[in-house]
Structure formats: C-alpha cells, structure tokens
Amino acid sequence: MRLENNVESIKSKAYVMEDRISKLEDRNIEVLQVEEERELRFLKSEEILQEISASIRKSNIRIIGIREGEEMEKGAECLFKGIIAENFPNLGKELDLQVNETNGTLNFINAKRPSPWPIILKMAKVNDKGKILRAAKQKKITYKGTSIRLSVDFLAETS
C-alpha cells in the first residue's frame, strides 16, 4: 500500500512536471514567434526607408559633357530645356519641364585632363525623367554640336 502511494505520488509529480514543461515550451514558442514578427517588421521598415530614399534620388538626371562655364552663362534649367528642345522637339512640347534644383559634382579629379563637371538636375516629376532617359537611349544627344550624355543619378550626396 505504501509503495502504491509512493508510485501514485511520483506519477502525479511527473504529470505536474510534464504540464509545466509543456507550458514552458508553449511560452517559448510564443516568444520566438513574437521575436520573429518584430524582426520582420524591422526588415520591412528598413525596406520602406530604402524605397523612400531611392524615390527621393530617382528623380535626378545627370548631364555629362557640357563645356565648363556654359551652365553659369545660361543657368542649368535653361540649358537643360535647350538640350531637350534641340534633341527632342516633340518631347519638349509634350512635357512641362520643371527643375527643382541643380548642382555640379565631380566624382574624380584628373589634373592632366580637365573634365567638365556633370550637372545634376532634380526633376519635379519622376515620369518626365523616365520619358527623357528613354528617348536619350534611342538617340545620340548633342548640344551645340558636342556629344553629351544624360543618365540617372543615384549618388547619395546629390539627393
């Protein structure tokens, strides 16, 4: 009888311990799920931040090959409108070109060969930039007989 009581007591303690272990395992799973959800939210937030950063920069166009001083004489916006009018007369009429801001940056300086600074234009509308760049890929662009290039500018310093 006494042995049976001890066995029953041990069995009940084992059930209690199994129940506690089961509850701890369930709690551990819940904590892991919460942590995983938090990490997913963090990654999503980082992704959204990168998209916002890219959308700010993606409206920039870089003009390469303009003679130094030309921008100062005419102003970058007028110069850009002249390039568009010269190379894409239909596109110039179709788009309402608005430039929010301009600046010049140089990626590297070569003392042996002077190179003109690229002009960075921040367009008001991203769609206008896309149309201009698509048209620029299909045709060689010139300004006053000199070959120039229009490209996307993704530099963080110019955004």
* Residue 45: per-residue pLDDT: 93
Domain ranges in the chain? 1-57, 59-158
Residues 6+ apart with CB under 8 A from 140: 147
Q: What is the pLDDT of residue 37?
A: 97
pLDDT tens per residue across span 81-105: 788 888 877 776 666 666 655 565 5
Q: Mean pLDDT lowest for which of 6-10, 45-49, 103-107, 114-118?
A: 103-107
pLDDT in tens, 45-56: 998 888 777 666
Q: Which two tokens stand for residue 90?
A: 């239909």
pLDDT tens track for 127-144 = 677 777 877 888 888 888
> Is 124 or 142 the better-scoring residue by pLDDT?
142
- The verdict on domain 59-158 having CATH code 3.30.70.1820 is yes
According to the model, what pLDDT value does residue 159 have?
Answer: 46
Chain CA centroid to CA 128, Å: 18
Instruction: Tell me if the pTM is above 0.75.
Output: no
How far apart CA 52 and CA 72 sit, in angstroms, is: 32
Give 105's DSSP letter: -
